[in-house]
């Protein structure tokens, strides 16, 4: 049956008109839905997001290596619909999450366990709490190491269950959902401006990227456009955020290879950047600086020279650190060939950010989704093929350089003009968009009701398609290299847990 149906997004979308956000919207039946899922498994489509909305399941797909984009919607009477994860494993956790949140029934999903729901929500009577069953690993010499949810460092909570054979990890299974805060339901009924404060805190380390994406998707839904100055300032903030994390996380990788002095230098550069952000935009992490319709803060002319100077200092300081990294066999011995993620796995999961680009997946939402202000600046998207910790570190290094170049271009020709559009209309609409956060592409979709308020919001963090690959990266590596692998990914817990 499915053989006669088109499985590729490119075929399905051919001849159809895309919305202003670039997505062709289709209502499909079970057979067409499954055909598209099979298209993902065949490597013709990339799964971007899968979510529940108003008694329907929706899935955003992109043509592999192309530009066709589709949002397919299927009615799910009494919650039932054909599972996507049955054909395409990257969808499994997404479907488990939606089942926990909305009671959907993905038919044929090969995993009956909860994901975000740990049996603790008072609003949901799930009966007596069941013990979570980790996947079995059997063998005489195997032992388990449970880690978390409270970790040893100053990081977010999550549980890792290692099964090891001596020093070698034979299986890692993650259990997440500890920081689930019910963000989708919190946003419903709020004005876009009020919801922006929550969305800026889906993952606080990517507050600029989330606020940026949400502002753009609201603007698409309402058919408005932010002023030119606001767009340029958004770009500067987004790159400042990216640079601060790339520098910091590179230091963290060095730290886990026992190069503590390099980490100290990197944290100093990060502090330099955060203080510059605080002076320029009034908040060290630039929270709530981007709002639907524009930006909430201006960059004073008197601050521009200071900001440029900090960028110069960071560039110089970071180059020095990177040189030492690259000249130190003792560090490189820890990072080269450690935690390799195969390129076919990265392609299958459509993993974004440094995780994807270090294993040859040439995708960056700033270029591929092509949004302002990135359409006005020149930048390169660094790609590596090795897929190890060293490759992910080098993607960070190279991207830091690109972020500096982008910021300088934007500062060079910062347009004058208003910061927000006068009065945003209160009309209904919907939109979907990809935004490149420092760790990869974030998918945000929103539907605005007749009253001008948020009817539904869904945000899919880059980490959804990176966490499963961390399980693959650590396989056959030694337990002691897990921190290195983990830091080289730096997935989000809060962004993933929603």
Partner 1 sequence: MRTLLLTALFKGPAVVKAPAAPADMLAEAAQALAQKARRRLGRSLAIREIDAGSCNGCELEINALNNPVYDIERFGLKFVASPRHADILLVTGPVTCNMTEALERTYAAAPEPKWVVAVGDCAHDCGVFAGSYAVAGPVSSVIPVDVTVKGCPPPPLEILKGLISLFEAIEA
Q: How far is CA 423 from the centre of its chain?
A: 31
Q: Which residue has the tokens 């698409």?
A: 220
Q: Does 260 participate in binding partner 1 (rule CB under 8 A)?
A: no
Whether residue 351 contacts residue 397, with contact meaning beta carbons closer than 8 Å, is answered with no
CB atoms within 10 A of CB 493: 23
Of 138 and 327, which has the nearer Cβ to partner 1?
327
Dihedral sign (CA 407, 408, 409, 413): positive
Q: Does 272 participate in binding partner 1 (rule CB under 8 A)?
A: yes
Q: How many residues bind partner 1 (CB under 8 A)?
A: 60
Q: Does 270 participate in binding partner 1 (rule CB under 8 A)?
A: yes
Reading the block at residue 326, the tokens are: 């690259």
Whether residue 267 contacts residue 344, with contact meaning beta carbons closer than 8 Å, is answered with no
Of 18 and 155, which has the nearer Cβ to partner 1?
155
Query: Site for partner 1 (CB under 8 A): which residue of 324, 383, 411, 455?
Result: 324
Q: Which stretch binds partner 1 (CB under 8 A): 90-98, 153-161, 372-380, 384-392?
A: 153-161
CB atoms within 10 A of CB 139: 9
Of 250 and 374, which has the nearer Cβ to partner 1?
250
Query: Site for partner 1 (CB under 8 A): which residue of 155, 170, 332, 342?
Result: 155
Query: Site for partner 1 (CB under 8 A): which residue of 150, 168, 305, 319?
Result: 150
Q: Does 327 participate in binding partner 1 (rule CB under 8 A)?
A: yes
Q: Which stretch binds partner 1 (CB under 8 A): 154-162, 216-224, 365-373, 449-457?
A: 154-162
Q: Which stretch binds partner 1 (CB under 8 A): 6-14, 202-210, 401-409, 458-466?
A: 202-210
CA distances for 16 relative to 11, 26, 56, 380, 427, angstroms: 10, 9, 22, 32, 25
Distance CA 209, CA 196 (A): 12
The DSSP bridge partners found for residue 172 are 162
SS3 content of the chain, % helix, strand, coil (to 5): 45, 15, 40
Q: Does 103 participate in binding partner 1 (rule CB under 8 A)?
A: no
Q: Does 310 participate in binding partner 1 (rule CB under 8 A)?
A: yes
Q: Does 426 participate in binding partner 1 (rule CB under 8 A)?
A: no
Q: Does 483 participate in binding partner 1 (rule CB under 8 A)?
A: no
Q: Does 56 participate in binding partner 1 (rule CB under 8 A)?
A: no
Whether residue 63 contacts residue 10, with contact meaning beta carbons closer than 8 Å, is answered with yes
Cis peptide before 373 (omega within 30 of 0): yes
Distance CA 469, CA 340 (A): 10
Q: Which stretch binds partner 1 (CB under 8 A): 114-122, 230-238, 385-393, 446-454?
A: 114-122
Report the nearest approach of partner 1 to the CB of residue 167 (Å).
Answer: 20
Burial (CB count <10 Å: 0-12, 13-18, 19+), residue 391: buried
Report the nearest approach of partner 1 to the CB of residue 275 (Å).
Answer: 5
Query: Site for partner 1 (CB under 8 A): which residue of 1, 112, 154, 416?
Result: 154
Report the nearest approach of partner 1 to the CB of residue 412 (Å).
Answer: 23
Transcribe 255-275 into DSSP letters: HHTT-HHHHHHHHHHHHHHHH
For partner 1, the binding residues (CB under 8 A) are: 116, 118, 120-124, 149-150, 152-157, 177-183, 185-186, 197-198, 201-205, 207, 261-262, 264-265, 267-268, 270-272, 274-276, 278-279, 284-285, 287, 310, 313, 320-321, 323-324, 327-328, 492-494
């Amino acid at each position: 049956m499915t053989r006669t149906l088109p499985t590729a997004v490119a075929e399905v979308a051919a001849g159809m008109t895309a919305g202003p956000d670039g997505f062709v919207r289709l209502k499909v039946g079970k057979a067409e839905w499954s055909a598209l899922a099979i298209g993902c498994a065949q490597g013709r489509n990339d799964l971007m997001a899968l979510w529940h909305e108003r008694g329907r399941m929706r899935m955003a797909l992109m043509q592999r290596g192309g530009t066709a984009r589709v949002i397919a919607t299927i009615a799910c009477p009494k919650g039932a619909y054909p599972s996507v994860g049955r054909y395409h494993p990257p969808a499994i956790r997404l479907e488990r999450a939606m089942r926990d949140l909305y009671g959907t029934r993905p038919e044929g999903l090969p995993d009956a366990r909860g994901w975000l729901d740990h049996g603790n929500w008072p609003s949901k009577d799930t009966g007596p709490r069941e013990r979570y069953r980790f996947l079995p690993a059997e063998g005489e010499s195997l032992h388990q190491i449970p880690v978390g949810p409270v970790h040893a460092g100053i990081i977010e909570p999550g549980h890792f269950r290692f099964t090891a054979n001596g020093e070698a990890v034979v299986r890692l299974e993650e259990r997440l959902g500890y920081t689930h805060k019910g963000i989708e339901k919190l946003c419903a009924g709020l004005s876009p401006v009020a919801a922006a404060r929550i969305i800026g805190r889906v993952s606080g380390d990517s507050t600029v990227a989330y606020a940026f994406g949400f502002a753009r998707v609201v603007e698409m839904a309402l058919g408005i456009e932010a002023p030119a100055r606001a767009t340029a300032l958004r770009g500067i903030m987004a790159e400042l955020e990216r640079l601060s994390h790339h520098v910091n996380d590179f230091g963290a990788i060095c730290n886990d290879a026992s190069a503590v002095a390099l980490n100290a230098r990197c944290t100093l550069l990060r502090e330099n950047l955060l203080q510059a952000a605080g002076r320029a935009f009034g908040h060290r992490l630039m929270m709530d600086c981007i709002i639907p319709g524009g930006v909430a803060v201006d960059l004073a002319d008197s601050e521009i020279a200071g900001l440029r100077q900090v960028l110069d200092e960071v560039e110089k300081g970071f180059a020095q650190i990177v040189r030492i990294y690259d000249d130190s066999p003792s560090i490189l011995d820890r990072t080269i060939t450690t935690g390799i993620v195969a390129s076919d796995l990265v392609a299958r999961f459509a993993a974004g950010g440094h995780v994807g680009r270090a294993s040859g997946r040439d995708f960056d939402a700033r270029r591929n989704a092509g949004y302002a202000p990135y359409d006005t600046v020149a930048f390169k998207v660094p790609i590596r093929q090795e897929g190890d910790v060293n490759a992910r570190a080098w993607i960070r290094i190279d991207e830091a350089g690109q972020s500096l170049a982008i910021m300088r271009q934007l500062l060079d020709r910062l347009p004058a003009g208003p910061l927000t559009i006068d009065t945003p209309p209160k009309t209904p609409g919907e939109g979907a968009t990809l935004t490149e956060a420092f760790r990869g592409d974030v998918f945000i979709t929103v539907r605005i009701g007749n009253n001008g308020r948020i009817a539904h919001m869904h945000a899919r963090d880059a980490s959804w398609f990176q966490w499963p690959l961390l399980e693959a990266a650590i396989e056959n590596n030694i337990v002691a290299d897990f921190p290195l692998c983990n830091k080289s990914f730096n997935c989000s817990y809060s962004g993933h847990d929603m």
